[in-house]
Amino acid sequence: MLCIENALLFDGEVFKKNKKIFIKDKKIHDISNKRSSKKWKTIDAKDNIVCPGFIDIQVNGGGGFFFNDAISIEDIKKISLTHAKFGTTAFLPTFITDNKTKLPKFIQTFNSALKQKIPGIIGIHLEGPFINSDKKGIHAVEHIRSPTDSDFQELKKIINCFKVITIAPEKVSKEFINILLKNNFNVFAGHTLATFDEMQNGINLGIKGITHLFNACSQLGSREPGVIGAFILNEKPWAGIIADGYHVSFDTLKVVLKAKEAKKFILVSDAMAPVGTKLDKFKIYTKEIFVKEGKYIDKSGTLAGSALTIHQALQNILQHKLVSVSEALQMTSTNAADCLGINKKNKIGLKGMILPNFDADIVILNKKNFNLLNVIQLGEVIS
C-alpha cells in the first residue's frame, strides 16, 4: 500500500492542492487529507505535480526493439519498460505496413502479451496497410494494399482490447469502415490524400481521429480544405500530434490549437526502436535509418517515426506556450483515454484520471520545469 503526500494533484480535469493519494491493489483507493497510518509506504511529492500516467496511442518501438520485428514476449516487455521509465504507463503497440505474413505472428504474440497482463499494454494500433501509396512516408509501398476478406478474418483474431487502425478513407470502401466499427475498431485517417468531402463522409460514418495530424495527409488549401480542414470544422474527431518540431512546426500547432479546443488533441510519440538507447542507426524493413539531431531519417531525408517520448512532447508544447499546463497534461493522457473510452467501464482498467477505482498509473513532475521525479505503474514505483 502506497500513499503520495503533499501532492499538487491534477486529476485529469482540475488542480487540487495538498492532497494525499492512497493506492491499494494497483488502484487508486482514496484521495483525501486524512492522516496515513504506518502501514502505508509514503512518497512526499513536496507540492509537485501529481498527474495521470501518460497514454501513448502510437508506439512503434523502444529500448532497441521494433514492434514489426518484436515477435517475442520478452521484446515487448523491454519496450514497455523503456517507455514506462519516461512516464508512459499505458500504450498501444503499433504495427506499421509490412509483409502480409508478419501480421498474424504479431497478433499472436500481442494476444499473449495481453493475456499475461504485461504492464502498459492496453491495445493495438495497426498503421496501414490500407493507406495511400502517394502518402506512404517511410511505409514500404510494396506492402500497401486494399483490404480483403482474409485480412479482416485476421483482424478478428485480436482479443478484446483498445484497437486503433489507420486507413486512407479514399482507398477503402464504406462497407469496410462499417465492418471495422462494428468490430470495435477506432478508425483513424492517416497516410491519406482524402478530399474534404471524402474525409467528411468518413467522419459521418464514424472515423474517430487523424493519425499524426499534418503528416502524410492532404493539407488545408484555398479551394480544397482537405483532411486538415475537415478535422478543424468537425467537433467530434481527435488528432494525434508529434510535437518534436520536426514533424510539424510549433507555430503551425499554435494555429490549429487556436482553431479547435485542446481536448481534441493527443500527444503521440511515434517512437522507434532507438528511444531509450544510444543507437545511432537502425533498420525499418531493409532500409537503414539514421539518428541525426534528434530525429530519425533515411538517406533521402524522409522522417522515420520519431525520437520522442510523451514526456518530451509535453515539455515541448509547454516551452512553446501552446496551451495551458492543465490542457497540456490532458493531452498526455486524459484526452487519449476519452477518445478510446479507457476512462469508462471496461475489462482492462480505468485510466487517464486520478480518481478512486482508476488504475494507479501516476507521474510526479517538478512543478517548475516539468522534469520527471517519479513514475508509478499499477501501484508499483518504476522510477
Residues 100-150 have pLDDT tens digits of 999 999 999 999 999 999 999 999 999 999 999 999 999 999 999 999 999
Separation between Cα atoms, residue 284 and residue 265, nearest integer Å:
28
Separation between Cα atoms, residue 188 and residue 213, nearest integer Å:
11
Cross-sheet strand order for the sheet of 123-127: 54-59, 88-96, 123-127, 162-167, 185-189, 209-210, 238-241, 265-267
**Distance linking the first and last C-alpha atoms of the chain:** 17
Q: Helix (H, G, I), strand (E, B), or coil: what is residue 319? A: helix
pLDDT at 6 over 90: yes
In DSSP terms, 80 is beta-bridged to none
Q: Going from the N-terminus, what domains does the chain have, and what CATH number goes with each? A: 2-51+355-381 (2.30.40.10), 54-340 (3.20.20.140)
User: What is the structure's pLDDT at 48?
Assistant: 98
59-97 in b/e form (b: 16+ CB < 10 A) is bbbbbbbbbbbbeeeebbbbbbbbbbbbbbbbbbbbbbb
- CA 349 to each of CA 261, 318, 378: distance values in angstroms, whole numbers, following the listed order: 27, 29, 10
User: What is the structure's pLDDT at 347?
Assistant: 86
Helix 226-233, helix 250-259: angle, nearest 10: 40
User: What is the structure's pLDDT at 277?
Assistant: 96
Per the annotation, the verdict on 270 as an active-site residue is yes
Which residue among 56, 98, 270, 361 is the active-site one? 270
Summarize pLDDT for 322-373 with one digit per residue, the tens. Answer: 999 999 999 999 999 999 999 999 989 999 999 999 999 999 999 999 999 9
pLDDT at 309 over 80: yes
pLDDT at 382 over 90: yes
The set of residues, in sequence order, having a beta carbon less than 8 Å from that of 132 and lying 6+ positions away, is 144, 168, 170, 171, 191, 192, 193
pLDDT band at 33 (very low <50, low <70, confident <90, very high): confident
Separation between Cα atoms, residue 262 and residue 366, nearest integer Å:
23
Rounded to two decimals, the pTM is 0.97
State the average pLDDT for the chain. Answer: 96
Is the distance from CB of 265 to CB of 335 less than 8 angstroms? Answer: yes
Helix 174-182, helix 196-205: angle, nearest 10: 30
Summarize pLDDT for 257-306 with one digit per residue, the tens. Answer: 999 999 999 999 999 999 999 999 999 999 999 999 999 999 999 999 99
User: What is the structure's pLDDT at 39?
Assistant: 85
User: What is the structure's pLDDT at 35?
Assistant: 76
Is the distance from CB of 365 to CB of 371 less than 8 angstroms? Answer: yes
Going by the DSSP 8-state scheme, the letter that residue 177 receives in this structure is: H
Alpha-helical regions (H) of 37-193: 73-84, 102-115, 149-155, 174-182
